[in-house]
Amino acid sequence: MSQYDFDGSNEGDWDDAGDLAWNESDWQVFLRNSDKEVVRFMTAYNKVKDQDDRLDAAANLMGWQRDDWSSTDEIEFDENDMPLIKPVDIEEINSMDPYTIHRHPIYITSSALFSYLRASWEQLMRKNKQSNDTDLAWGYSVSLSDAEKHCIMAANSLDLGDFLLAVCHFKKAHSALNESMRINRLFTHNSNKKLKVYQEETNRCMYDLREIWLRVMSDCRK
C-alpha cells in the first residue's frame, strides 16, 4: 500500500522565521483549528469506512499527498538546481501558522480514531442493562490510554527524526492496543444487535490504527 507525504515537515522550516508574536488567544485559536482537523479526518474516514482502501481514500479526502507517512525521506538538491530556488519573503513566513505536533498526520489520525473508540464505548454502555465487571472497564480504559500515549510519543519521535525510537513507541502502542482488542470482546450488552454493530465498528477502527502504525514502522526501518 502506498504511503503519504504530509505538509508541515519540521526539517528546519522555522529556524529563520524569527520570534512568533503569538499571545494566549492566538494559541487558543490554533488549538481550535487543530481540533477541527481531527474532526475533518473523522468525517472523511466515515465517508469511506466501508471501502477496503479506506485509509488511502480518507487521506486523499484530507488532501494528503502520496509518499511517506513517516517523512523519512530527505530532500536532495542538485547544485545545478540551486539558482532556481527562490527565497521566501519574510512577511509570508511570519503570516504562516507555526508547525507543531498538532499538524502531524499521526497525531490527527490517532486523536480522531481514539476519540471515536472512547465515544463508541460510552454510547454502548450508557443504556446497557447488563452489568459488566469494573475490572474490564478499567482495563479497557488503561490499555487505550497507553496505546494513545505511545502513539503520540511515536509521532513526536518521527517529528524529531528519531525513527527507531518511533518504532519502539509504536511497538508499545501495538501491544497496548492488542490488550484493548482482547478486552473489547468480553463486554456484554442486553442488545445483541447493538453489541454486534459496536464490535464491528470498533474492531475495524483498531485494525486501521494498527495498519497505520505498521506502515510507518516499515518505513522507519528502511
Q: Give the tens place of pLDDT for each residue, 56-106.
A: 999 999 988 655 445 544 444 455 544 554 554 445 444 556 778 888 889
Q: What is the pLDDT of residue 19?
A: 54
Q: What is the pLDDT of residue 103?
A: 85
Residues whose CB falls within 8 Å of the CB of residue 55, separated by 6 or more in sequence, listed in order:
1, 208, 211, 212
CA dist list (Å): 104 to 31, 55, 108, 124: 13, 16, 6, 31
Residue 169, domain extent? 4-14+21-220
Alpha-carbon Rg of the chain, whole angstroms?
20
Mean pLDDT of the 160-187 span? 96
Q: Is the pLDDT of residue 190 over 70?
A: yes
Q: Is the pLDDT of residue 140 over 80?
A: yes
Query: Which single residue is written with the C-alpha cell 512577511?
Result: 91
When divided into structural domains, the chain yields a total of 1
Q: Is the pLDDT of residue 49 over 70?
A: yes
Whole-prediction pTM: 0.79
Query: Which single residue is written with the C-alpha cell 509521532?
Result: 155
